[in-house]
Amino acid sequence: MITINDPKTGKSYKKEADAQIYMNSKINETISGDLLGLKGYELIITGGSDKSGFPMRKDVTSLGRKRPLVVSGVGAKHGESGVKQRKSVHGNHVDENIAQLNLKIVKYGKESIEKALGITTEEKIEEVKEE
């Protein structure tokens, strides 16, 4: 699953696609939206999580899961000052174990994001009624 964030409107859009189309990309890397059907869009990888739910952390430069000592940031709870915790996190590379990938729009295409993803107003109304 891929989540696309629109910073202009503050909305997020889900797209059922395989995160493996961006294999070996890293967090904070700019990628083309053409593979997702977003012509003219440029996206930046902001994070994600693996199949077990462990978050990607941009300062862990590896493939797969690691257990670094962390003080703050992704995967760490705010505790006492200076106390380090060993937490399981996924590295900053996209691999076959990534279940969710978070993207942010950097450059917009000619058509709106909703039109490019095929979202209609009827689908929006149904989503609101379900909640």
Task: Write down the domain spans for the chain.
Answer: 2-60+92-130
Tens of pLDDT along 48-74? 888 888 888 888 777 777 776 676 666
Written in H, E and C, the secondary structure of the chain is CEEEEECCCCEEEEECCCHHHHCCCECCCEEECHHHCCCCCEEEEEEEEECCCCEECCCCCCCCEECCEECCCCCCCCCCCCCCEECCEECCECCCCEEEEEEEEEECCCCCHHHHHCCCHHHHHHHHHHC
Tens of pLDDT along 12-36? 888 888 767 888 888 898 988 888 8
**pTM of the shown model:** 0.75
Predicted confidence (pLDDT) at residue 104 exceeds the cutoff of 90 = yes
